[in-house]
Amino acid sequence: MSTFPAERTAIVTGAVSERGIGRATVNYLAAQGWNIGIIDLDDALCKSTAKEIAAEYGVQAYGVGANVADEASVRSAIDTLEAELPQIVALANVAGVSSPIGYLELEPAEWNRVLNINLNGVHYATRRVAESMVKNRIGRIVNISSVSAQRGGGTFSKTPYSVAKAGVIGLTRATARELGEYDITVNAISPGPIDTDIMGGTLSQERKDELTKDLVVNRVGSTRDIAAAIAFLISEDSGYISGQTLNVDGGLYMH
Ligand SMILES: NC(=O)c1ccc[n+]([C@@H]2O[C@H](COP(=O)([O-])OP(=O)(O)OC[C@H]3O[C@@H](n4cnc5c(N)ncnc54)[C@H](O)[C@@H]3O)[C@@H](O)[C@H]2O)c1
């Protein structure tokens, strides 16, 4: 069983959105002593978020702007984070976009945009960190899928989103299988409705009540619900969990 180095870094993509899952995750992980690498679209926001995290939690943090759909920029961002921060032990692929376009109105550009960000983006970051984790013989990767993958949509987003998030589960399982021999685990989290702004803006109480009707738990999810699940799956003690999809969805999907 491999152990973690004393100083370790978690890279989180999609971590600057104020009310988003990624932002809650970097707070949660920094509070646990993880050093933090941030990747999101806007370089200045990545850097200011990293500064806030470092000041608030007394950890090292660094941010680099990159579009996860562009492999060259993802690789270069992770090169920089690796040079600036302690050993990369974890990657959380949180960056993503919604897509409310109905199937019959769908144009190729929308299909490609969503697949490029929500699926290819996860692959590009995973592929780059895997190279370092294989050398270090330790790693934890968590990918954010969605209940949309399991239920054929049925959320705010429609087909390309559901397809990309189903692809994330396939990518999780296949990379878990190939990377396991290096003590790298790869898991997915499949959130149900979470109170962020991704579903066409901040949720009104009326929409929250509507979303809650299908759940067994009596509320929509919080970003902390997902951050805590990510923290669990990247922890040192989670090394025997790999290739799994953890549904953090208030009981929306049971199988
Ligand atoms: N909120 C929910 O109900 C819910 C449910 C299931 C899954 N998810 C998934 O959780 C993840 C986080 O979503 P959220 O709800 O926090 O939304 P959000 O919009 O608050 O956060 C998304 C983040 O990703 C970043 N991002 C978008 N495109 C990018 C790109 N091309 N390159 C780099 N960064 C990019 C954004 O700038 C933002 O910081 C997404 O993958 C989303 O699909 C959310």
3, part of any domain: no
Task: Give domain status of residue 4, yes or no.
Answer: no
- Is residue 18 domain-resident? yes
**Structural domain for 78, as ranges:** 9-248
Give 10-36 pLDDT, tens digit per residue: 999 999 999 999 999 999 999 999 999
pLDDT band at residue 1 under the 50/70/90 scheme: confident
Model pTM score: 0.98
Q: Closest Cα to atom 21, ligand 1: which residue?
A: 20
Examine the pLDDT at 90 and tell me if it is beyond 90. Answer: yes
- 1 within a domain of the structure (yes/no): no
CB 30 within 8 Å of CB 42: no
The answer to whether 134 touches 71, Cβ cutoff 8 Å, is: no
In a domain, 254, yes or no: no
Q: Is 255 within the bounds of a domain?
A: no
Query: Residues near ligand 1 with C-beta < 6 Å?
Result: 13-14, 16-17, 19-22, 40-41, 67-69, 94-97, 117, 144, 146, 191, 193-194, 196-199
Please list, in sequence order, all residues whose beta carbon lies within 8 angstroms of the beta carbon of residue 147, skipping any fewer than 6 positions away.
154, 155, 190, 191, 192, 247, 249, 252, 253
Residue 253 in any domain: the answer is no
- Spot the catalytic one: 103, 161, 182, 240: 161
How many other CB atoms are found less than 10 A from the CB of residue 70? 16
**Structurally, how many domains does the chain consist of?**
1
**In this structure, is residue 228 part of a structural domain?**
yes
Q: In this structure, what CATH number is given to the domain that contains residue 201?
A: 3.40.50.720
- Catalytic residue status for 253: no
What digits encode the pLDDT tens for the residues 46-63? 999 999 999 999 999 999
Distances (CA, A) of 190 to 79, 172, 183: 29, 12, 23
182-238 confidence digits (pLDDT tens):
999 999 999 999 999 999 999 999 999 999 999 999 999 999 999 999 999 999 999
